[in-house]
Amino acid sequence: MKLLVDISDNKVAGFLELIKNYSYVKARPVSAPDAELFEEINEIKKAFKNVDKIKKGKLKGRPAEELLNDL
């Protein structure tokens, strides 16, 4: 399993020391651009899931014209 954890810069050293004590955990830092990319991908996944829910009638959609008028 992979897990993305957001930790304050001033606390990361202590957290890494803590998890290094577990032989079954491998940790490596992720650059800021890569972290942003992960966030964007997760938002896109969520949007696709919402489209599926709209098609199944579990979530109410909104006309594109209404969306554009709000902008």
pLDDT of 48-65, one tens digit each?
888 888 888 888 888 888
Round to whole Å and give the CA distance between 44 and 37.
Answer: 11
Q: Which of 31, 38, 33, 37 is nearest to 4 (CA)?
A: 38
> Could you tell me the residue range of the domain that residue 56 belongs to?
12-70
Burial letters for 31-63: b for 16+ Cβ neighbours within 10 Å, e otherwise? Answer: eeeeeeeeeeeeeeeeeeeeeeeeeeeeeeeee
| Each residue's pLDDT tens digit, 8-27 | 989 989 998 999 899 999 88
Q: Is residue 57 part of a domain?
A: yes
Contact 35, 4 (CB under 8 A): yes
Q: Is residue 5 part of a domain?
A: no
Give the pair of three-digit tokens for residue 33. 């651009």
Q: How many domains does the chain have?
A: 1
pTM of model > 0.85? no
Q: Is residue 46 part of a domain?
A: yes
